[in-house]
Structure 1
Amino acid sequence: MKAKLTILFTLVSLLVGLTASAKEINSALDVMTFEDSFTCQDKFPHHSFCEAVEFKPWSAADKEIVSRYLQNINDPRLKFLLQTIQEKGITKLHRVGYTSSWSNNMAQRRVEFHRTAEKAILWVNPVTHVIGFTDAFFNGTPFVDPYAKVERKQLNVFHELVHVYDIALNHISTEDGFKKAAGWEWNGKEFVIHGVDYNQVKADFSAILALVKNKQSALAYAQDRERGRTYGFPTVYGMTNSHESFAEVITYYIFDPTAESYYSKELTEYVKEVLKVDGR
């Protein structure tokens, strides 16, 4: 009798395992979830986090908008990325009012958060793993990328999921493999990209930010793309640090069919490797 029960238990376990594995991930919509609230506490995440970002419930209309963007993140090359995000459990999407920064309060032995003036349309907090969509995401005027031929907001959503992937892989964007492929190196004062005039890169980015401040976002984005491509990157923004570089490089590799025409061969090979494309 005991042997029969053991066999039955084994069969049930196998069936459960087969059912779980049979549930395929077709898009990011199968992985991400909408959360209406978030709990802060005395330790971590401290109450200051909730106070800083102001969590709010999702409206049906906002959920529908974001769901469409998530459903479009369905490229077969993203199977490993989406599985990794799901396995690490960094899958909750929140509606928020603001962005925040953080600092260590050594006396209280805790991380505390502060509201910032930055008006990001969506963000990922690497400390709390919260993914936040602000009002600006829904209120901003949409425009289409001139090369990828998709909405900029679509790229924004995937860009943040790539940050999540980076976090899930213990910040692989800071490791030597990516730095070598992208050309990041230390010049004795700061990290720069090998083979380009980095002072010119910073001047280009300052000019782009000036356009944004003058509420010329579409023109700023067009110049960001145009100048970035001349350097072998999707955007100048993607040349500001290795975290953003990693997110931009993978985002445009997936959504911009012309990406491989301006990426270096080494950078393209790295992206394929980190996404486990072609069984790598």
Structure 2
Amino acid sequence: MKTTLKSLLNLLSNNNNISFEVVFWDGEIIRMGPSNPEFILKFVTKNAAKRTINAGVLGFGEEYMAGNITIEGNFRQLLRLGVDDYFQNLKPSLLTKLNTYLIYIGSLNTIRKSPKNISYHYDRGNDFYKLWLDESMTYSCAYYKNKNDTLETAQSQKYEHICRKLLLKENDTLVDIGCGWGGMLIYAAKKYMIRGVGCTLSEPQYEYANKKINEMGLADRVQVLLQDYRNVTGKYDKFVSIGMFEHVGKKFMPLFMEKAKSLLKLGGAGLLHTIGKERQAP
């Protein structure tokens, strides 16, 4: 195993002309490259090396986060090595494939499992998210028109951009799937006088959003439901979902789109904001 890892690291060093030092769990130290090392890569445990070989970039990253791989020195040079690209192309072992599949099955966003998945991520307490989100508690990409815009300004600009794209007008009905802490609904109700419903599976989000809606005197216009999107009913003029679609899971994407269609009135309009990535070129 150590021999395999040495060969991989030596190849990366030679291909990128980067020198570094490797420290193994048993105290062995080797030098990669002809010049002074720009960083020190340490495999604290034997298992960290094993997972790097067997699980590729995922194993390397998880072992680094666990403290079983450490980097001292120029971290950027490690990134320049192309560790992520190279390890990404390593074929994972059968055991790793099986483990990944079981994790995938266990995390599928069925109606029964979705509340648990959401709770793990969002139910850390609102105070935690208040530390780094803006005043509207918006947890999705912001829209910076100018480099000096504050986060709060950028989030408002995003909401305004969405409202304009949807051509919102007074008394339009709006459904917000995965509404979080209610930022979009509150903005649209204040600025465009819409009537709307949002849904979330997070109890802290549900409680926070409705409390804020009541405090702002908007309870006669909007409300947030503690409900799975698949159980939302009604017909609406406009549909919006911001930063939620990527959490649906590939298996449930067609169902999500069918649900969005069923919630819209004939001639209605919808906007879906999501995050993705391009496939690697063959």
TM-score when normalising by structure 2: 0.25
Task: Specify which structure has the higher proportion of strand.
Answer: 2
Normalising by structure 1, we get a TM-score of 0.25
Q: Bigger radius of gyration, 1 or 2?
A: 2
